[in-house]
Chain A
Amino acid sequence: QVQLVQSGAEVKKPGDSVRLSCKASGFTFTDYAMHWVRQAPGQRLEWMGWINTGNGNTKYSQNFQGRVTITRDTSANTAYMELSSLTSEDTAVYYCAREMSFTGFDYWGQGALVTVSS
């Protein structure tokens, strides 16, 4: 069955970076784009960026430009998201989600809570 399994919760200090992983199984990894979406406490979902898992091309939200990097390892069927220069406003649950051809984010990871606190 399709699964996206994310790495665990992280606690970081302001100024740190965090790298999250999203391991895919149950489908052909390179057939789908992988997106990263975050949700701060009590806030709306916020799209961060996506990667074409086939060729590695990326597109990032301008709201995170310069701070977010999304990569993938096709041999491990895993996507990664690194966010740098963390502040308390980056405290959120971070999700990966797959998507193909405007069919929406049909499978999501379980989410990873990142807490930024001094």
Chain B
Amino acid sequence: QSVLTQPPSASGTPGQRVTISCSGSSSNIGTTYVYWYQQFPGTAPKLLIYRNYERPSGVPDRFSGSKSGTSASLAISGLRSEDEAEYYCAAWDDSLGGPVFGGGTKLTVL
């Protein structure tokens, strides 16, 4: 089964810029859009980025997405304590016929 690979953890201090990577394959990231979700414990995920780099209304421009080949990244600038959460990447997978998700990256704000 195709899955996306993320680092299990990331950290930064307030005000810093952190990036979270997401690696896939030609059957998913390489051919389709990438999405990013933020999840706090015990709550549903929240859409942060869609179509590689677009932000839904209400998502601060501190959050940005990019994609290159079969990899993607989420960047968070001006890190704040409230950004401490789990972040998941996702992309439609041609083999699955639906979206696959990364394993999640737990972001800690030191």
List the interface of chain B (C-beta within 8 A of A). 1, 3, 33, 35, 37, 44-47, 49-51, 56, 88, 90, 92, 96-104
Spot the interface stretch: A9-17, A24-32, A43-51, A78-86: A43-51
Determine the chain B residues whose CB is within 8 A of the CB of A77 once the complex forms: none
Majority secondary structure, B binding face: strand
Majority secondary structure, A binding face: strand
Q: Could you list 20 A-B pairs, sorted by A, with CB under 8 Å?
A: A46-B101, A47-B100, A59-B98, A61-B98, A62-B96, A62-B97, A63-B1, A97-B44, A102-B33, A103-B50, A103-B51, A104-B35, A104-B51, A104-B56, A104-B90, A105-B37, A105-B47, A106-B56, A108-B44, A110-B44
A-B pairs, 5 with minimum CB distance: A104-B50, A108-B44, A45-B101, A104-B35, A47-B98
Determine the chain A residues whose CB is within 8 A of the CB of B103 once the complex forms: 44
List the interface of chain A (C-beta within 8 A of B). 35, 44-47, 49-50, 59, 61-63, 95, 97, 102-106, 108-111
Separation of A108 and B98 alpha carbons in the complex (Å): 17
In the assembled complex, the CB of A92 is this many whole angstroms from the nearest CB of chain B, namely 13
Separation of A89 and B3 alpha carbons in the complex (Å): 19
Determine the chain A residues whose CB is within 8 A of the CB of B51 once the complex forms: 102-104
Determine the chain B residues whose CB is within 8 A of the CB of A61 once the complex forms: 96-98
Determine the chain B residues whose CB is within 8 A of the CB of A50 once the complex forms: 98
In the assembled complex, the CB of B71 is this many whole angstroms from the nearest CB of chain A, namely 18
Q: Once the chains bind, are A106 and B47 in contact (CB under 8 Å)? A: yes
In the assembled complex, the CB of A47 is this many whole angstroms from the nearest CB of chain B, namely 5
Q: Select which of B3, B33, B56 is within 8 A of A44 by beta carbon.
A: B3
In the assembled complex, the CB of A22 is this many whole angstroms from the nearest CB of chain B, namely 12
Residue in A closest to B49 when the chains form the complex, CB atoms:
A104
Interface centre among A44, A59, A62, A111 (most CB of B within 10 A): A44
In the assembled complex, the CB of B86 is this many whole angstroms from the nearest CB of chain A, namely 10
